[in-house]
Amino acid sequence: MLDFARCRVGGIDTLLQFLKLLDWSDIKPSQFAEWFRFQERLRDGGMGPEMVVIPAGEFLMGSPEDESERQASEGPQHLVTFSQPFAMGRYSFPFLFRYV
């Protein structure tokens, strides 16, 4: 299914629309690394940052209260839910970095 999608989608908007239609229970986490990365060409002809798709789902954020060396800013633990997939930069860097 993912190979078919890779050949058929064009651009981030189309990709995100397609991802909403997937049955995420059939996709193994190991498949994300090989397929859910992309780059788009910028208007000036350069390449944009490498992006990764974060699938819809949920995870527990924060550290448990009984964890050793826990910082106050790491709690309280709470469930975070993404109702739809989204894309974000794979690497963190300042936007002006490309102009240096």
Q: pLDDT tens digits for 61-71?
A: 999 999 999 99
**Structure tokens, 23:** 């049955």
pLDDT tens for 12-35 read 566 666 666 666 666 665 665 555
For range 55-79, the mean pLDDT = 90
Name the pLDDT band for 2 (thresholds 50, 70, 90). very low
> 53 burial class (0-12, 13-18, 19+ CB within 10 angstroms)?
middle
With 70 as the cut, is the pLDDT of residue 77 above it?
Answer: yes
Residue 73 predicted with pLDDT over 80 = yes
Segments forming the whole domain that contains residue 71 = 2-99
Q: Please check the confidence at residue 5 and state whether its pLDDT lies above 50.
A: no
Number of structural domains found in the chain: 1
DSSP states along 19-46: HHHS-GGGS-HHHHHHHSEE--B-TTSS
Average pLDDT on 76-92 reads 86
